Structure 1
Amino acid sequence: MTAPSDWQRDLIREVGAAEAGGERPRPATPPAPARTPAPARTPGPAQPAAAPVPARSPDPAQPAPRSPAPPRTPDPAATPGRDLAPRSSGEVQRPASAPEAAPVADPRLLLALGSPRHGDPLARRAGAGLRRLAAPAAKEAGDAARLAEAVQQPVTTGRVLAVTSLRGGAGKSTVAALLTRTYAHYRHDPVLGLEADAALGTLPLRLGARTVRWTVGDLADVLTPETRLTDVTGYLVQLEEGGWLLPASRGQVGNPLAGRTYYTVALALRRHFGVTVVDCDSLPGQVARTALGTAHARVLVAPATAEGVHGTRQVLDWLLGLLPAARENTVVVLNATSPDATLDPATARAHLGEPGVPVVLLPYDRHLGQGGPVHTDHLGEAARGTALRLAAEALGRAVRTR
């Protein structure tokens, strides 16, 4: 695997330095009853000093490992010693009080979903396993390895991928969740899923978050381009399968997100994350237009229906008319949302690809069709392979964008 670039080494050193100073914003294990003061602080006379914990010195040549700890909702406003730090020091000026955590969805609704379904039926999974045992597919394994290498390629600065669609229900949040899961699984630098749909966004649910607290709007007034990763992560949701999440609302319809608010937060955060996947609102929304105009790569999701393909082609022609250079960093996803779709996929792909953009077919998957959290180990073989191919295609185009 290619060694991380300089900015990634700096990021690893920064996290390691924060750990050495006792400023870890999200511990991997539950905190001990007694806090260990940082070596640089001197305890008061009535407070005996505890023995300092030896700091772990990370190796800059090695990628940062992903913590297997379960997600934990931090309370940045309760962090002592840093709440009143001035903005000029590069740290976050925290609000006076933290907002209340809110559930992503009604627990009764989540119970009604039942257990996660596998994307492939049992018979198909058993047959695929037998075929692999009988005759290992060397070509398929080689293709998967090349795609994984493309997804793992180093980046000089954080890359932002904007996912949007012509209307709601096309599957843009599903595609955004798939990309976030894929990058978090294969990459060793931090990966962020950023929701930019404050009205009807479902990215937190698709990524398995249980509660949300801080939103994009909350961070607009406290983040600066100099804010450190150790400050930022206290506002984010850590995901069980790797990666981070910043929602747009606290589980209910909120005020529309302004394009400038989105841009301010996205610009301040992208330096900390190798890849940021943005789940935008539907076109022609203001945030979607802002995100498409500032992202390194664009992913347009079209439902595999005649009207969905026709509308997406119109949007694609409009986008390329405004930004001719977008042809080089735009990918279209043809999303089959029903097992009973009758639209010929070859004809639909040809129609969408006429302007010269790649079209990736995401086949119907029972797990994705269930509508709950996306678990990579439950995806069908075809959906898993498509997600990897789409992630490689989108990141490759984002890396080529200056």
Structure 2
Amino acid sequence: MDDRPEPPAAGGVATASERGDSLTRQVGRAVIRTLRPPDDVLTTIESGQALQRPITTGRRIVLGSPRGEADGSVLTTLLALVFAHYRHDRVLAVDLVPDRRTLALRFGVRPQLSLADLAAGRVDADSFEQVESHLTHARDRVWLLPGAGSGSEGATLPPETLPNTVLPLTRFFGVTLIDRGPQSPAELDAATLAAAHAHVLVDTATREGAAGIGRAIDRMIAAGDDSVLARTVVVFVDRPSNEDRAFNFPGTADVLRDGGAAVFRLGHDRHLARTTTVDPRRLAEASRATAIRVAAEALRRSG
């Protein structure tokens, strides 16, 4: 992700100065940086190479938070920033939740148009330049399409939104991240899952979070997708304020990995926990490394 200073987006939301790492950890990290184990360095290099591999058609990665306890928009934003940093093609972030605007807040922008606006009409375009005016330029090489704008509380998107509006846009992007939120209408949810090249499921690092992930995977398999685990990345998010000491992460990860899924753990990050707009310069080092690995694995599993 880009560490260069970036001016706030026009009309954006101010970013708090809280850094993901404490001052003690920042100093300690600077001291040991030159002593990093070779395996850590190789993992970072390999992930970067995996993210830069050529793809012939755009990849659609669908993110979901089964119970809504973990904010999937944070991970969607982090992955978009990673892909935009390592790749040279465009990235599109789509929010399928009409009455939620958290993805726009995470990027610090106020979109003029939404997915609901586009779905109400029809966008016929033969080039990116023709569709760009319908999207919000969030960061360098990142465009955003929120579910809906203000005054859309309680609204729902019809199932034909995905094939008629979203999928035609994705051909102009190397990677499209689709945040389907915790719950979508059944028909829209089925259409979204069917269109996915890879899935990312995110929940809290708790027993309830593990159970939520398990139920979500069961539903996806029951929908007729026997190969879903081979295309799934699971991310457990630490929440120290509500830590579940009885949560057995190694055991849970082993079960999921035995089934074919990839599993990661995103540690507590003060910047992500206490601010609205994500500033990649202020992320904890561990958060940055985890986001890179998750993005690389999701892209690898997308085919």
Report SS of the residue matched to 1:323. coil
1:233 to 120, 125, 132: 132
State the distance in 2 between where 1:192 and 1:289 align.
21
State the distance in 2 between where 1:311 and 1:136 align.
36
State the distance in 2 between where 1:234 and 1:349 align.
43
1:183 to 47, 67, 83: 83
Query: Superposed, which structure 2 residues align to 1:47-126 within 5 Å?
Result: 71=9, 115-126=16-27
1:328 to 230, 244, 257: 230
1:248 to 123, 140, 147: 147
Query: Superposed, which structure 2 residues align to 1:216-295 within 5 Å?
Result: 216-220=115-119, 221-224=121-124, 226-252=125-151, 253=153, 255-283=155-183, 285-286=185-186, 287-295=188-196
> For the structure 1 residues 136 and 310, does the alpha-carbon distance in structure 2 shift closer, same or farther, using more than 3 Å as the test?
closer
Which has the larger helix fraction? Answer: 2
Which AA in structure 2 matches 1:348? T
Q: Quick check: 1:213 aligned with 2:112?
A: yes
Which AA in structure 1 matches 2:268? Y
State the distance in 2 between where 1:136 and 1:308 align.
32
Report SS of the residue matched to 1:255. coil
> For the structure 1 residues 357 and 156, does the alpha-carbon distance in structure 2 shift closer, same or farther, using more than 3 Å as the test?
same
> For the structure 1 residues 232 and 384, does the alpha-carbon distance in structure 2 shift closer, same or farther, using more than 3 Å as the test?
same
8 Å contact 1:360–1:390 — kept in the other structure?
Answer: yes
1:295-315 CA distances to partner (integer Å, 9 max, x unpaired)? Answer: 111111121121121122022
State the distance in 2 between where 1:371 and 1:288 align.
30
2:200 to 299, 315, 325: 299
Q: Over aligned residue pairs, what C-alpha RMSD do you find?
A: 2.2
TM-score (structure 2 length as normaliser) = 0.88
1:317 to 218, 238, 246: 218
Which AA in structure 2 matches 1:249? A
Which AA in structure 1 matches 2:235? V
> In the TM superposition, what is the alpha-carbon distance from 1:384 to its structure 2 partner?
0.6
Which AA in structure 2 matches 1:162? V
> In the TM superposition, what is the alpha-carbon distance from 1:339 to its structure 2 partner?
5.1
2:271 to 367, 370, 390: 367
> In the TM superposition, what is the alpha-carbon distance from 1:69 to its structure 2 partner?
8.3
> For the structure 1 residues 353 and 139, does the alpha-carbon distance in structure 2 shift closer, same or farther, using more than 3 Å as the test?
closer
1:382 to 254, 277, 286: 286
> In the TM superposition, what is the alpha-carbon distance from 1:183 to its structure 2 partner?
0.6
1:393 to 283, 292, 297: 297
TM-score (structure 1 length as normaliser) = 0.68
> In the TM superposition, what is the alpha-carbon distance from 1:370 to its structure 2 partner?
1.6
Q: Quick check: 1:347 aligned with 2:247?
A: no
8 Å contact 1:119–1:378 — kept in the other structure?
Answer: yes
State the distance in 2 between where 1:245 and 1:218 align.
14
Report SS of the residue matched to 2:227. helix
Which AA in structure 2 matches 1:235? H
8 Å contact 2:18–2:274 — kept in the other structure?
Answer: yes
State the distance in 2 between where 1:136 and 1:327 align.
33
8 Å contact 1:182–1:388 — kept in the other structure?
Answer: yes
Q: Quick check: 1:158 aligned with 2:58?
A: yes
Aligned residues: 292
> For the structure 1 residues 350 and 371, does the alpha-carbon distance in structure 2 shift closer, same or farther, using more than 3 Å as the test?
farther
State the distance in 2 between where 1:372 and 1:251 align.
18
1:154-206 CA distances to partner (integer Å, 9 max, x unpaired)? Answer: 11111110001212232211111111111111111011111111122411111
8 Å contact 2:68–2:203 — kept in the other structure?
Answer: no
State the distance in 2 between where 1:355 and 1:195 align.
29
8 Å contact 1:180–1:277 — kept in the other structure?
Answer: yes
Which AA in structure 2 matches 1:164? G
> For the structure 1 residues 120 and 241, does the alpha-carbon distance in structure 2 shift closer, same or farther, using more than 3 Å as the test?
farther
Report SS of the residue matched to 2:105. helix
Rg larger in 1 or in 2?
1
**Equivalent residue for 1:87?**
none
Give structure 2 stretches of 5+ with no counterpart.
1-5
**Equivalent residue for 2:3?**
none
8 Å contact 1:217–1:248 — kept in the other structure?
Answer: yes
Give structure 1 stretches of 5+ with no counterpart.
1-67, 73-102, 105-109
> In the TM superposition, what is the alpha-carbon distance from 1:229 to its structure 2 partner?
0.3
Query: Superposed, which structure 2 residues align to 1:134-145 within 5 Å?
Result: 135=35, 137-145=37-45
State the distance in 2 between where 1:136 and 1:351 align.
30
